[in-house]
């Protein structure tokens, strides 16, 4: 394999590079016991151990493991005890799963424009806003709006990030959600976590995620007299075991990202038509984000990087005002629920109709970093990147 291929192209995402059979003690234990359902284990389940480990690592009071990050968002929203059709303000730039979680909960998304960092702009939130989802996109820590009763931090791309005040991303609002999808910081293929500091919210989430039951490990689920309905979001021991193994490498992975980011800041070309977007100390530096003077230059850079086998991506796919799920307002319900409950007024908040945001996205390019590489190989990878960008 050529040097460019080995150093430039990420064949596996971040956490997948740390998957190792010799390190899968918890997974072997679960398989040897022959019990993969967390509530049937003889001793403490791996899922419970995972939740305790995450709580300690992130400084979270309560943690619940679920199937995926979208379910984690739904649980966080449902635990606020909303009315059907209530509004949830979400970033205009994020993955469509955020809007999907809102709609699947019987609520209505309102798209809020973003700032220069592509984080939700709190200055656009109207008085009386009750529910907001902020997204820490590309590992960049977004501000948490003040004075909002229910702020959910979507940390799918920012596991391990830290707010300026020292709190871990996911613990500064009402709840925080995490994803272990294949292309996340850590991975179990799928999988998710929801964290909260509110014991009542956690109790609601825990019941809802297991058919509304008051589960006692080792027993058939029981329902209290005041039980509400729920769904099955319970994680498996196999998935939790892989996540536990991944958590052992979180600090190592974050340190590798920090190291290559620092190398890149010293080595990248100084061009008047190219700017490297800054990263705060607490960001998870999963990528280098470049902003070009024009879309034409950005597209030329994409072509040059791709030709050399250097992984890269653009962010236009995250612009929700142009996503068919939002523009079409279609529903599988015959009456159009929950769109049928939406108010007549606009469900998008922007000072200029998202013109600035479209321009920012058109000129932005991301190149992933490779924490699993040695420092020497990281230097070589950055030099290959620099050479390619200089030639654009």
C-alpha to C-alpha distance for 73 and 135, rounded to whole angstroms: 11
What's the full length of the chain, in residues?
392
CB 80, CB 131: distance < 8 Å: yes
Q: At what angle do helices 46-58 and 237-247 cross, to 10 degrees?
A: 30
The three-state secondary structure class of 309 is: coil
Half-sphere exposure of 328 (CA within 13 A, CB side): 6
What is the Cα–Cα distance from 58 to 72, expressed in whole angstroms?
16
Considering 184, 285, 317, 383, which one is annotated as catalytic? Answer: 184
The neighbouring-strand residues paired with 135 are 154
> Residue 232 forms beta bridges with which residues?
210
Residue 19, classified by CB atoms within 10 Å of its CB into exposed (0-12), middle (13-18) or buried (19+), is middle
Q: What is the dihedral of CA 87, 89, 90, 91, to 10 degrees?
A: 150
Collapse the DSSP code of 262 into the 3-class scheme (helix H, G, I; strand E, B; otherwise coil) and give the result: helix
Q: For this structure, is 184 an active site residue?
A: yes
Catalytic residues: 184
């Amino acid at each position: 394999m050529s040097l460019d291929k080995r150093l430039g192209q990420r064949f596996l995402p971040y956490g997948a590079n740390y998957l190792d059979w010799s390190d899968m003690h918890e997974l072997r234990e679960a398989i040897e016991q022959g019990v993969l359902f967390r509530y049937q284990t003889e001793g403490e389940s791996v899922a419970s151990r995972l939740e305790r480990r995450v709580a300690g690592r992130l400084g979270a009071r309560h943690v619940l493991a679920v199937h995926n990050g979208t379910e984690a968002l739904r649980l966080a929203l449902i635990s606020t005890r909303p009315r059907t059709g209530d509004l949830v303000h979400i970033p205009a730039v994020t993955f469509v799963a955020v809007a999907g979680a809102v709609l699947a909960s019987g609520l209505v998304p309102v798209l809020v424009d973003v700032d220069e960092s592509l984080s939700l702009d709190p200055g656009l939130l109207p008085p009386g806003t009750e529910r907001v989802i902020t997204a820490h996109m590309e590992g960049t820590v977004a501000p948490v709006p003040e004075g909002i009763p229910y702020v959910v931090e979507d940390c799918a791309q920012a596991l391990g990030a830290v707010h300026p005040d020292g709190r871990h991303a996911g613990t500064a609002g009402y709840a925080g959600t995490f994803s272990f999808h294949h292309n996340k910081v850590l991975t179990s293929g799928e999988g998710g976590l929801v964290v909260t500091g509110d014991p009542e919210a956690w109790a609601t989430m825990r019941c809802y995620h297991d058919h509304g039951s008051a589960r006692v490990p080792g027993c058939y689920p029981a329902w209290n007299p005041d039980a509400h309905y729920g769904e099955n979001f319970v994680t498996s021991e196999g998935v939790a075991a892989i996540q536990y193994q991944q958590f052992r490498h979180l600090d190592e992975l974050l340190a590798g990202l920090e190291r290559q980011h620092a190398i890149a800041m010293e080595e990248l070309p100084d061009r008047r038509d190219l700017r490297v977007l800054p990263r705060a100390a607490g960001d998870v530096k999963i990528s280098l984000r470049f902003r070009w003077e024009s879309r034409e230059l950005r597209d030329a850079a994409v072509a040059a990087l791709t030709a050399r086998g250097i992984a890269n991506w653009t962010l236009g796919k995250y612009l929700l005002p142009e996503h068919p799920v939002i523009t079409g307002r279609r529903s599988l319900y015959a009456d159009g629920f929950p769109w049928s409950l939406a108010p007549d007024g606009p469900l998008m908040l922007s000072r200029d109709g998202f013109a600035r945001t479209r321009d920012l996205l058109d000129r932005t390019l991301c190149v992933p970093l490779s924490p699993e590489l040695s420092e020497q190989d990281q230097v070589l990878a950055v030099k290959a990147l620099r050479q390619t960008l200089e030639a654009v």
